[in-house]
Structure 1
Amino acid sequence: MVEKIKVGLVGIGNCFSGLIQGIEYYRQNPSQQVIGIIHEKLAGYGIHDIEFVVGFDVGENKIGKTINEAIYEYPNMVTWIPKENMPKTNAKVFESPILDGVGLWVENRIKPIKSNKTDEQLAEEIKKQIKESGAEILVSYLPVGSDKVTQFWAQMCLDTGTAFVNCIPSFICSDETWGKKFAEKGIPVIGDDIKGQVGATIVHRTLARLCNDRGTKIEKTYQINVGGNTDFLNMKEQDRLVSKKISKTESVQSQLDERLDDDQIYVGPSDFIPFLGNTKLMFMRIEGRQWANIPYNMEVRLEVDDKANSAGIVIDAIRLAKIALDRGIGGPIYPASAYLMKHPPKQMTDPQAKASCEEFVSGKSN
């Protein structure tokens, strides 16, 4: 029997709520095939081998609660498992520094705690809380635009010897300086910016690659996304979107043999529509030319549950980080990052990334 993978979480929002409720769904429905992950077992680790041992948040209604209570607090929307049916845990949610983690549009919904502690005091407390919890991997579900606080948590991982899975487009794994810091400490890092299982960008880059491989010339393309949860509300603040647009755009551009000019490609979140809730809508268009310079175009509309779309990918990221820990591999985990993230340190085509990931799991590569 394999040991538990002890995981800490930063940001107890909808994404994590969908992740932990999904694990419980499969526990309560053992006859159901587990879908949305690479393999049911990775190096012997299954989804029920993951244990969430500590959480961190800025919401005054989540801090101090156990994780199983905090995931149902406003403004979270995921209720796949009724609250009374969610197993209780002793794992607590502790205070995180705010820094740049709360945007203008979401402040009234999140209601961040009015702390009397300095960031330095919180850092010392957090390092102790990570150590006492036994967490060996920290997953960041911070809001888009949280660059300073992402760097804070990356440093916490370096200071405590904890592997880091960065699910947002604040660049750590793909940043040469930060990647080197993790490599020097021998600590695994996977990032940056999680791909959805069948999300907007994975569909866009796959179709762009298909057009490229079939010999057509793409001339222009766009991808527009709308949704109704706090993620999309946060992204109404354009200043927080710089790295998000870079991440999504480069993910598509990386699949083309010939880059598009910046004014011929648009990839990014576009608006917040409250009644959509956790539903995300994507509208994509590709225009190009075929044989004899004849034009073609395609349009795609995708509708997904935004939180179900990322949960299985994070499950794989956690297990791959654990494999790296078990094998003493530190620094950016290139195969996992290329396969699971939009902005990895090394871009690959998705078939190449999957093959590389399989080799990593089997021990044939690092």
Structure 2
Amino acid sequence: MLPAPLLDGLDGPLGTLVETSAAALETTSESVAKALVDHEVHVLVITLPTGASQAIRMFAQAAIAAGVTVVNATPEKLARDEDLRRRFADAGAVLLGDDLRSHVGATTLHTTLIELLISRGLVPTSTYQLNVGGNTDFLNLADAGRSASKFDSKANALRAAGLTDVAGTAGPTGYIGHLADTKVCFANIKATSVLGSELEIDVKLTVEDSPNAAGVIANAVRAGQTAVDRGLSGSVDDASALLFKSPPHGLPESEARASFLDFAS
């Protein structure tokens, strides 16, 4: 393992749990770019804690300097940043993001149900998605200053699914230590149907949180390298809507899947 500048990586609750390496206090962003070149890195996956804006953007800048493709698994606004997209394109590198979806997680379940209702002619009127867990991700997200970008990212996913002007919220709502790496999602959707009749869906999803992202990360890395092999650079929309909660151009689940399969074929 190689050290990197700490910056704001351990701000908030994580600072009480993780011991900082002395080397991390002495290294620079230039050394990160050099390490990417020296180790012939093709794709850099950023999985830093949510809210570590300075550290996440430092890695993005290092990747640009090294001409390395980035998969931004965090909610930090990278792929949605027009200037960063242009700079990655100029560097001949791909930028995929933002905020990695889990294989079958709260956002995928929630947006799929919304798409189903809309496809059947129902009109959603309100919704919520409440998530609790016991790993260090949820501990970090218990800090309102760190979790703000996560709520923004999930709101983008709901809008891409077809929700506009609907009362609702979605995001992490609690740290429960004994849950460890278990994540529990409670989702609710209310909608109106024909003749003003009402429908309400309540679902509970329980998953082992960390492994739920493994397959998606693998697909994102493959997509990033495939895009480079095809001579693409900057943001690649066709590969992003299925893999991320908050890509530059979101799509409903079925359309995102079709777009990704077209890209992969």
1:342 is aligned to 2:248: no
1:134 is aligned to 2:61: no
Within 5 Å, which residues of 2 pair with 1:6-25?
none
**Matching residue within 317, 334, 342 for 2:220:** 317
Match of 1:180 in 2: 86
Query: Given residue 168 of structure 2, which amino acid in structure 1 is its aligned partner?
Result: I
SS in 2 for 1:313: helix
Match of 1:352 in 2: 255
Q: What are the ranges of 5 or more consecutive residues in structure 1 without an aligned counterpart?
A: 1-92
Match of 1:271 in 2: 174
Deviation of 1:102 (Å): 1.1
- 2-structure distance, mates of 1:344, 1:128: 28
4+ runs deviating over 6 angstroms: none
SS in 2 for 1:197: coil
Query: Given residue 195 of structure 1, which amino acid in structure 2 is its aligned partner?
Result: R
Deviation of 1:313 (Å): 0.2
Q: 1:116 to 1:98 in 2, by over 3 A?
A: closer
**Matching residue within 146, 150, 153 for 2:59:** 153
Q: What are the ranges of 5 or more consecutive residues in structure 2 without an aligned counterpart?
A: none
What percentage of residue pairs aligned between the two structures are identical? 33
Deviation of 1:116 (Å): 7.6
Within 5 Å, which residues of 2 pair with 1:30-69?
none
Deviation of 1:349 (Å): 1.7
Query: Given residue 187 of structure 2, which amino acid in structure 1 is its aligned partner?
Result: M
Computing the radius of gyration from Cα coordinates, the structure with the larger value is 1
- 2-structure distance, mates of 1:348, 1:117: 41
- 2-structure distance, mates of 1:358, 1:218: 29
Deviation of 1:124 (Å): 2.3
- 2-structure distance, mates of 1:179, 1:233: 31
What TM-score comes out, normalization by structure 2 length?
0.96
Within 5 Å, which residues of 2 pair with 1:327-338?
327-338=230-241
**Matching residue within 9, 18, 31 for 1:125:** 31
Deviation of 1:205 (Å): 0.5
1:282 is aligned to 2:185: yes
1:168 is aligned to 2:168: no
1:259 is aligned to 2:167: no
Deviation of 1:112 (Å): 2.1
Count of matched residue positions in the alignment of Structure 1 and Structure 2: 265
SS in 1 for 2:229: helix
What TM-score comes out, normalization by structure 1 length?
0.70
SS in 2 for 1:124: helix
Greater fraction helix: 2
Match of 2:96 in 1: 190
